[in-house]
Chain A
Amino acid sequence: MTSISAAGSATGPAPYIYVTTRMRVRKSKLLPREEYLRMLNMSLPEITRIIEETQYKAEVDELSPSFSGIDLMEVALSWNLAKEYQKILEITPGRLKMFLQTYLRSWDIQNVLAILRGKSQGMRTGKIKEILIPAGSLDRITLDRLLAEDSPERVVEALKGERLFPVIEREFPAAQESGSFARMENELYKAYYADLIETARAGVKGGRAFLEYIRLEIDICNLQAAFRLRQGPLPEDARDMFIEGGEVKPDELVRLSAAEQPDELIETLQQRVGIDALGGLVDQIRGDAPIHEIENALTRLRLDKMTRISKRNVISIVTILDYLERKRFEVMNLRALARGKESNLPAERIQSYLVI
């Protein structure tokens, strides 16, 4: 920690200004809403061609000998995302890098769970590899090593020494017995957010903005879970599904998810993000919109709030995270678009799955 702050003070704020400017330029290059709407009326080959003309060209060219059609597009998109994240990690200086590394660990959780799930269902290694996005601290080589293990138990053993290991070791026997990794996933994310809050509170300069954003992310994530829980009877362990550390406490969330009417949930949401930010979301919730639309609306809300925080704290980690999250959703949108087109879904249906 001391070496980080020493490096920071020796060079002043220059590296921070440099990297946040680059992020803002990159953000301006992301696909605008109109482009998605235009793509909705195109065929899959046309969409692939458009993607080839944008920042994804290098990956599409590189992978075109080994993949084709929808697979080419998916793999190219996730390669591009991983490369982009690693590149940003490379250029990010001092304390921002520390925050960023902690934040990107969510990809480790995603990748390790994908490997464990794939292995326990006996999927082919190549198939699992296609969905991995090595954007976190476990790089491509480490993931390949994990993939080469022949059973989920061996994968867990190979993770010894990694930050995820204590939680995985604790939860793995129960997960394997029940055949569901959902509880393990919840526990991993809880540990991840507790870690993030600890890092943000460690007293390093710039932690305040980071903390503000993490609490927002936790709250939105919890509210999404609350909306999801409302869809069916409340499970007994509902409290365990919520993440600690947000402004809305888990006990409160359990009560809200159990309530018959969504009024109180909407009120909590209004208090948390402000009435103006909600817009048409309230009508959507009252009108019993499908859950994925409510979730998407909440995600949009989170992204907008995030942009606001980043505008208030120009030279902060939130500016970088703002770009990273928007990039992630660009990739997810393009993937949803391509998948939807391949399955011949109507444009309106695909649009309801896009975060734009």
Chain B
Amino acid sequence: MAVEVMTLEVAEASAKGLVAIGAGLAVGMAGLATAIAQYGIGTAAVGATAENKDIFGLVLVLTVIPETIVIFGLVVALLLLF
């Protein structure tokens, strides 16, 4: 039976890999959460705009607000990577 020995290089490389996975998860999951939030708001925004075109600008802003969630995820990812 071969005994695996973890050298310093291997440990460093896997730590980097785990950081990269963490960063990916942070952006990916925050992105999904944003999508879910924007789904509801966007649908309602389209409905409201269909009835009253003047409020397009306002509902656009409302639709974009959940975008902050994914920005938080991005910031965490960047902090992890650099």
> Which residues of chain A have a CB within 8 Å of any CB of chain B?
12-15, 17-22, 25-26, 29
Q: Given the complex of chains A and B, what is the CA–CA distance between A14 and B40 in angstroms?
A: 7
Question: Is B72 an interface residue, CB under 8 A from the partner?
Answer: no
Q: Indicate if the CB atoms of B51 and A18 lie closer than 8 Å.
A: no
Interface CB pairs A-B, < 8 A, 24: A13-B43, A14-B39, A14-B43, A15-B43, A17-B40, A17-B43, A17-B44, A17-B47, A18-B43, A18-B44, A18-B46, A19-B47, A21-B43, A21-B47, A21-B48, A22-B47, A22-B48, A22-B50, A22-B51, A25-B47, A25-B51, A25-B52, A26-B51, A29-B51
Closest residue on chain A to residue B42 by CB atoms: A14
Closest residue on chain A to residue B40 by CB atoms: A17
Q: Given the complex of chains A and B, what is the CA–CA distance between A13 and B41 in angstroms?
A: 12
Q: Given the complex of chains A and B, what is the CA–CA distance between A25 and B58 in angstroms?
A: 14
Which residues of chain A come closer than 8 Å to B43, judged between CB atoms? 13-15, 17-18, 21
Q: Given the complex of chains A and B, what is the CA–CA distance between A15 and B39 in angstroms?
A: 11
Q: How many residues of B contact A (CB 8 A)?
A: 10
- For the complex, would chain A's binding face be called helix, strand, loop or mixed by DSSP majority? helix
Which residues of chain A come closer than 8 Å to B40, judged between CB atoms? 13, 17
- For the complex, would chain B's binding face be called helix, strand, loop or mixed by DSSP majority? helix
Which residues of chain A come closer than 8 Å to B46, judged between CB atoms? 18
Within 8 A of A (CB), among B22-62: 39-40, 43-44, 46-48, 50-52
Q: Smallest CB–CB gap between B58 and chain A, Å?
A: 13
Which residues of chain A come closer than 8 Å to B51, judged between CB atoms? 22, 25-26, 29
Closest residue on chain A to residue B50 by CB atoms: A22
Which residues of chain B come closer than 8 Å to A15, judged between CB atoms? 43
Beyond A21-B43, A25-B51, A25-B52, list 15 extra A-B contacts (CB 8 Å).
A12-B39, A13-B40, A14-B39, A15-B43, A17-B44, A18-B43, A18-B44, A18-B46, A18-B47, A19-B47, A21-B44, A22-B47, A22-B51, A25-B48, A26-B51
Q: Given the complex of chains A and B, what is the CA–CA distance between A83 and B48 in angstroms?
A: 20
Which residues of chain B come closer than 8 Å to A14, judged between CB atoms? 39, 43
Which residues of chain A come closer than 8 Å to B47, judged between CB atoms? 17-22, 25
Q: Smallest CB–CB gap between B7 and chain A, Å?
A: 50
Smallest CB-CB A-B distances: 5 pairs: A21-B47, A25-B51, A18-B47, A17-B43, A21-B44
Contact mask for chain B residues 11-26; partner A; CB cutoff 8 A; 1 contact, 0 none: 0000000000000000
Q: Smallest CB–CB gap between A314 and chain B, Å?
A: 10
Q: Given the complex of chains A and B, what is the CA–CA distance between A19 and B50 in angstroms?
A: 10
Q: Given the complex of chains A and B, what is the CA–CA distance between A56 and B66 in angstroms?
A: 38
Q: Smallest CB–CB gap between B41 and chain A, Å?
A: 9
